[in-house]
Amino acid sequence: MGDESPVTDNQTEQSESITEVPGEHGESNSEESTSSQTTLDDSGSGISIMDELQSESVETVFENKDLVRPDTIIDEDRIVGRDEQLKTVITNLKPALQNHGIPEMLLTGPSGTGKSLIIHAVCKKIVELSEAQGMRFGVFSINCEGPGTTSRAVYRLIQEATANIDEEPGVPESGVSTDQKLERLWEIMREHYDGVIFVLDEVDMLDGPYSEPEYNSLLYQLSRARDLGRFDGPVSVTAITNYVDFMSDLNSRANSSFNPDEIFFEDYDATQLRHILRNREDAFKPEALADDVVPLVAAFGSQTHGDARKAIDLLRWSGELADKQGDERVEESHVRTAQDRYDSDRKLRHIGGLSTQKKLCIFAVAATDHYSNASVDWIPAGPSYSLYQFVCDTLGADSYGRETFVNHVTEQATYGILEFDRRGRGRGKGIHMHFDLAEDPESIMERILEDDRFANLEQEEEMMRSIAKSKMNGFLN
């Protein structure tokens, strides 16, 4: 999650500039620079392979890009605005250092609010301190999005438990029961660890193939370890989820054994985001960040849900954009362009995920806009509906009535794909529904045509153009 870069994705044509000779920025395209490598100049020397290899091949605004990558675990002095959560987690885990029991925890809150960061930052210190005391504390952390079932999740925990010690998992990934895997896990823990914390990130994703979600059995099994006498030392489960109501979804068995201290992580406001970003400014070279960049990134970030990951991503994308354009300094304009690209990328991804019928409806509006070539800002529903009927016909899909068509289209306004408005066509000609797409119609059509079921439409360009033109002319005159 989170590392999609609209800057790099949409800019493939620019990646060629890496092969350019430094100092010739903007003058040569890659073809010319390739030929310059094979042509000797007047002195007969050609280019110096050594100089080329030793020169700094790509100019960059970054000094330490890791600081603005989403998965880097940052030092504690860079953590901002989570004092309360940090204190609670520390208070809860501290007894482990005296070999006392530790409570279970449930960290909830929206994306990018520091849940994973805080638990890992504290666990890292616990491991360091216990090592200094001659104790071995294990943090077995898995993301529950991958495994799918309790059995596979337990296997991942075994892999975590054996990753840094001289020990084999000792059970196969499949072909043995979950109980056998659990027994093996307890055995490894007894032999190699004095205390253990299981971190189950995105726990709600472990829903499994059955009607009763699998996280119930995983939480039930792991949280009983101490009660069943499987492990003597401090042991506890920390589950992490975006769902504030997660506990009310648990079945009664899981509910009776997993009794966590719930810790809530709220969204960041613009001031907190600004602090978070300021603490990472050394990701960039000195002077490579214009003064207004961080406040602008923070402002965009707080508008879109106060997610620190998004804000950090936007800062990195802005830097990548400056690099690609050969600029030495990240300016406000880079931030705005990166944000625009991100928005447009997000909207197109949303369109790609719509149901077939909704795609058909949006396609018809985009195609009417594109093919009619009319100089109007707003596309009337009538001509779009005619094109929708043609498209359905061509693809052998059911075509719905005009009201459903309009509802499907207007629904997309909630996602920022378009605006809609009822407007007059001129005196006495009545009020009609109109649409205004927020994205370029061709990009929308391209995204929808990526769906194989729409492939036949590529051959119908001329027909669509003629319908769009004639219906639009009919409507306007």
Ligand X SMILES: Nc1ncnc2c1ncn2[C@@H]1O[C@H](COP(=O)(O)OP(=O)(O)OP(=O)(O)O)[C@@H](O)[C@H]1O
Residue with tokens 């849940």: 115
User: Does residue 108 interact with Mg ion by CB under 5 A?
Assistant: no
Which residue in the shown chain puts its C-beta closest to ligand X?
A: 114
Q: For residues 440 and 63, give the distance between their C-alpha atoms in angstroms, rounded to a whole number.
A: 36
Question: Could you tell which of ligand X, Mg ion, none binds residue 184, using a CB distance below 5 to 8 A set by kind?
Answer: none
Q: Are 365 and 379 in contact (CB under 8 A)?
A: yes
Burial class (CB in 10 A: 0-12, 13-18, 19+), 129: middle
Q: How far apart are CA 386 and CA 312, in angstroms?
A: 45
280 has binding-site annotation: yes
Contact string 229-268 vs ligand X (x = CB under 6 A): -------------x----------------------x---
Choose which of 61, 89, 117, 283 interacts with ligand X (CB under 6 A): 117
Which residue stretch of 96-104, 124-132, 307-315, 322-330 sits at the interface with ligand X (rule: CB under 6 A)?
A: 307-315
Name the packing angle between helices 381-395 and 356-372 (round to 10°). 120
Contact 275, 81 (CB under 8 A): yes
Among 5, 11, 28, 78, contact with ligand X (rule: CB under 6 A): 78
Query: How far out from the chain centre does Cα 342 lie?
Result: 11
116 sits near ligand X (criterion: CB under 6 A): yes
Cβ closer to ligand X: 271 or 470?
A: 271
**Segment (H or E) for 420:** strand 418-424
Residue 298 Cβ vs ligand X, minimum distance, rounded to whole Å: 12
Nearer to Mg ion (CB atom), residue 116 or residue 412: 116
How far is it, in rounded angstroms, from Cα 302 to Cα 289?
Answer: 20
Structure tokens at 83: 């004092």
Considering only the stretches 108-116, 263-271, 316-324, 361-369, report the one whose residues sit in contact with Mg ion under the rule CB under 5 A.
108-116
**Would you say 268 is a known binding-site residue?**
yes
| Contact residues for 41 (Cβ-Cβ < 8 A; gap 6+) | none
Question: CB under 6 A: which stretch of 73-81, 250-258, 383-391, 457-465 binds ligand X?
Answer: 73-81
Report the largest interatomic distance among the alpha carbons of the chain, rounded to a whole angstrom. Answer: 88
228 Cβ contact partners less than 8 Å away, ≥ 6 residues apart: none
Instruction: Tell whether residue 116 is a contact of Mg ion (CB under 5 A).
Output: yes
Q: Which is nearer to Mg ion, 88 or 116 (CB)?
A: 116
Does the footprint of Mg ion cover residue 241 (CB under 5 A)? no
Considering only the stretches 44-52, 115-123, 157-165, 316-324, report the one whose residues sit in contact with ligand X under the rule CB under 6 A.
115-123
CA nearest neighbour of 245 among 262, 227, 226: 262
Q: Is 399 in the site for ligand X (CB under 6 A)?
A: no
Does residue 82 belong to the site contacting ligand X (CB under 6 A)?
yes
Interacting span for ligand X (CB under 6 A) from 89-97, 110-118, 207-215, 243-251: 110-118
262 close to 108: Cβ distance less than 8 angstroms: yes
Between residues 58 and 244, which has the closer beta carbon with respect to ligand X?
Answer: 244
Side chain identity, residue 176: V
Of the pair 58, 73, the CB lying nearest ligand X is at 73
Q: Catalog residues that contact ligand X under the rule CB under 6 A.
A: 70, 74, 78-82, 111-117, 242, 265, 276, 308-309, 312
